[in-house]
Amino acid sequence: MSLDPWAALDARRQRRQWRRWPWGWTALGLSLAAWASVFMLAFLVLASVGMPGDGDHALRATRIPLLITLSIGVLVTLGCLVASVLSLRLPQRPAAGIAALALLALLVACLLLPRLF
Protein backbone atom coordinates (compact mmCIF):
# COMPACT_ATOMS: atom_id res chain seq x y z
CA MET A 1 0.00 0.00 0.00
CA SER A 2 1.45 3.29 -1.07
CA LEU A 3 1.03 6.60 0.73
CA ASP A 4 1.02 8.46 -2.57
CA PRO A 5 -2.47 9.99 -3.06
CA TRP A 6 -2.21 9.77 -6.86
CA ALA A 7 -1.47 6.05 -6.69
CA ALA A 8 -4.44 5.54 -4.36
CA LEU A 9 -6.70 7.47 -6.76
CA ASP A 10 -5.44 5.40 -9.70
CA ALA A 11 -6.07 2.16 -7.79
CA ARG A 12 -9.58 3.35 -6.96
CA ARG A 13 -10.26 4.12 -10.63
CA GLN A 14 -9.08 0.66 -11.63
CA ARG A 15 -11.43 -0.97 -9.14
CA ARG A 16 -14.44 0.88 -10.54
CA GLN A 17 -13.98 0.09 -14.22
CA TRP A 18 -17.15 -2.00 -14.25
CA ARG A 19 -19.25 1.11 -13.71
CA ARG A 20 -18.54 2.29 -17.25
CA TRP A 21 -19.65 -0.93 -18.92
CA PRO A 22 -22.77 -0.75 -21.13
CA TRP A 23 -25.10 -2.51 -18.71
CA GLY A 24 -28.24 -1.58 -20.63
CA TRP A 25 -27.07 -3.22 -23.84
CA THR A 26 -25.81 -6.21 -21.87
CA ALA A 27 -29.23 -6.62 -20.25
CA LEU A 28 -30.95 -6.35 -23.62
CA GLY A 29 -28.67 -8.99 -25.11
CA LEU A 30 -29.21 -11.29 -22.16
CA SER A 31 -32.99 -10.91 -22.39
CA LEU A 32 -32.83 -11.89 -26.06
CA ALA A 33 -30.67 -14.86 -25.05
CA ALA A 34 -33.36 -15.84 -22.52
CA TRP A 35 -35.94 -15.84 -25.32
CA ALA A 36 -33.59 -17.96 -27.45
CA SER A 37 -33.12 -20.45 -24.62
CA VAL A 38 -36.91 -20.83 -24.26
CA PHE A 39 -37.21 -21.49 -27.99
CA MET A 40 -34.38 -24.00 -27.76
CA LEU A 41 -36.10 -25.71 -24.83
CA ALA A 42 -39.31 -25.95 -26.85
CA PHE A 43 -37.40 -27.42 -29.78
CA LEU A 44 -35.71 -30.00 -27.55
CA VAL A 45 -38.98 -30.98 -25.89
CA LEU A 46 -40.62 -31.43 -29.28
CA ALA A 47 -37.62 -33.44 -30.46
CA SER A 48 -37.86 -35.72 -27.45
CA VAL A 49 -41.40 -36.81 -28.25
CA GLY A 50 -41.16 -40.28 -29.74
CA MET A 51 -43.59 -42.68 -31.31
CA PRO A 52 -46.39 -44.01 -29.10
CA GLY A 53 -45.38 -47.26 -27.45
CA ASP A 54 -41.70 -46.56 -28.06
CA GLY A 55 -40.91 -45.89 -24.42
CA ASP A 56 -38.83 -43.02 -23.14
CA HIS A 57 -35.75 -43.53 -25.31
CA ALA A 58 -36.15 -40.19 -27.07
CA LEU A 59 -36.54 -38.37 -23.76
CA ARG A 60 -33.47 -40.10 -22.35
CA ALA A 61 -31.48 -39.09 -25.42
CA THR A 62 -32.31 -35.40 -25.00
CA ARG A 63 -32.13 -35.24 -21.19
CA ILE A 64 -28.60 -33.80 -21.03
CA PRO A 65 -29.18 -31.06 -23.66
CA LEU A 66 -32.46 -30.18 -21.93
CA LEU A 67 -30.75 -29.77 -18.56
CA ILE A 68 -27.89 -27.77 -20.06
CA THR A 69 -30.28 -25.47 -21.92
CA LEU A 70 -32.42 -25.05 -18.81
CA SER A 71 -29.43 -24.13 -16.64
CA ILE A 72 -28.12 -21.70 -19.25
CA GLY A 73 -31.58 -20.12 -19.46
CA VAL A 74 -31.74 -19.65 -15.69
CA LEU A 75 -28.24 -18.12 -15.58
CA VAL A 76 -29.02 -15.80 -18.49
CA THR A 77 -32.25 -14.68 -16.83
CA LEU A 78 -30.50 -13.93 -13.56
CA GLY A 79 -27.74 -12.09 -15.44
CA CYS A 80 -30.37 -10.05 -17.27
CA LEU A 81 -32.00 -9.06 -14.00
CA VAL A 82 -28.67 -8.00 -12.48
CA ALA A 83 -27.55 -6.11 -15.60
CA SER A 84 -30.87 -4.29 -15.95
CA VAL A 85 -30.81 -3.22 -12.31
CA LEU A 86 -27.25 -1.97 -12.78
CA SER A 87 -28.27 -0.07 -15.91
CA LEU A 88 -31.06 1.61 -13.96
CA ARG A 89 -28.86 2.45 -10.98
CA LEU A 90 -25.91 3.74 -13.00
CA PRO A 91 -26.46 6.65 -15.38
CA GLN A 92 -25.75 4.68 -18.55
CA ARG A 93 -28.46 3.69 -21.01
CA PRO A 94 -31.38 3.09 -18.65
CA ALA A 95 -33.77 2.80 -21.62
CA ALA A 96 -32.12 -0.42 -22.77
CA GLY A 97 -32.40 -1.78 -19.23
CA ILE A 98 -36.09 -0.93 -19.14
CA ALA A 99 -36.57 -2.61 -22.53
CA ALA A 100 -34.75 -5.70 -21.25
CA LEU A 101 -36.99 -5.84 -18.18
CA ALA A 102 -40.05 -5.44 -20.41
CA LEU A 103 -38.92 -8.31 -22.65
CA LEU A 104 -38.22 -10.48 -19.63
CA ALA A 105 -41.64 -9.66 -18.16
CA LEU A 106 -43.26 -10.52 -21.49
CA LEU A 107 -41.42 -13.84 -21.51
CA VAL A 108 -42.60 -14.67 -18.00
CA ALA A 109 -46.15 -13.64 -18.92
CA CYS A 110 -46.10 -15.85 -22.02
CA LEU A 111 -44.85 -18.79 -20.00
CA LEU A 112 -47.24 -18.35 -17.10
CA LEU A 113 -50.38 -17.26 -18.97
CA PRO A 114 -51.41 -20.80 -20.03
CA ARG A 115 -51.12 -21.90 -16.38
CA LEU A 116 -53.71 -19.34 -15.32
CA PHE A 117 -56.45 -20.66 -17.58
Q: What confidence tens digit (pLDDT) does each residue in 17-52 have?
A: 767 778 889 999 999 999 999 999 999 998 888 777
Which H or E element spans position 76?
Answer: helix 63-89
Q: What are phi and psi of 70, to 5 degrees?
A: -65, -40
* Residue 8, pLDDT score: 73
Mean pLDDT of the chain: 86
| Rounded Cα–Cα distance for residues 74 and 81 (Å) | 11
Q: What is the pTM of this model?
A: 0.78
Query: By C-alpha distance, which of 75, 69, 79, 65 is closest to 37?
Result: 69
